[in-house]
Amino acid sequence: MFCFPLAEVKVPGKLTITLAIQDTPYVNRYEIWVYPPKVDTAVPDGVTVARQLDADAWGRLGRGQTVLLLPDPKMMDDANKSIAGAFETSFWCWPMFNRGAERRGITPAPGTQGFLCDPNAPVLARFPTEFHSNWQWWRLVKNSRPVILDATPADYRPTVQAIDNFARNHKLGLIFETRAGKGKLLVCSIDLPALQDKPEARQLLASLLAYAGSKRFDPKAELDAALLRRLFSSE
């Protein structure tokens, strides 16, 4: 057993614990993620946090404001809108195991293959990550509903994109952005409000809010308003 004080760690980051047997080639390495105990999750001026694109959210977008959308997972529990989030990758033949699960009357595995993202994207500036999923994402993606974005333009890519299996091949967004009306919309389909007792969730929310309230948030794409209404409106 060993102890290492982390009070001096002021910014979030990945650390590596290395254990070695002296005078031998045997070494084990363990990655851990460390976050400050307190992080600013106050909503910046000019930003609205919404759980759905209701009349109020659309009105704000129409007036040129910024909305951070954290969709209510109950509203997204629809196979035409999203799929269940998963950290572990699907087994080698998802269609076969999916049929087997359905025959046995059990819930099939989501069938995704991890995700890809740009670790240098400004939306993730305060949430250290690699270009792929790793253990600091485990609880986050287990409490997510990757959004089906098949109807978006072929060249549109989410900032954080879940990788679907070969049979279904959806374009799946965990974090993505768009212009909407005169305003700007940032979407995160992780249920961050329900996870604020977890340091990684607080840190990701802080990163999203800081980005949404900054001049760097300037989406280039504009997704179809009808698609956004279908996905994120309760109507």
Q: Where in the chain are the domains?
A: 38-232
Contact assessment for residue 178 and residue 115, using Cβ atoms and an 8 Å cutoff: no
Give, as one character, the DSSP assignment of residue 82.
B
What does the pLDDT read at residue 93?
Answer: 80
Residues (pLDDT < 50) of the chain are: none
How far apart (Å, rounded) are the C-alpha atoms in residues 48 and 54? 12
Domain 38-232, architecture per CATH: 3-Layer(aba) Sandwich (3.40)
What does the pLDDT read at residue 4?
Answer: 80
C-alpha distance from residue 192 to each of 27, 52, 56, 145 (Å): 37, 14, 21, 12
pTM of the model: 0.90
How far apart (Å, rounded) are the C-alpha atoms in residues 87 and 25? 32
What does the pLDDT read at residue 6?
Answer: 82
What does the pLDDT read at residue 235?
Answer: 64
Neighbours of 150 (CB within 10 A): 11
Beta bridge partners of 185: 67, 178
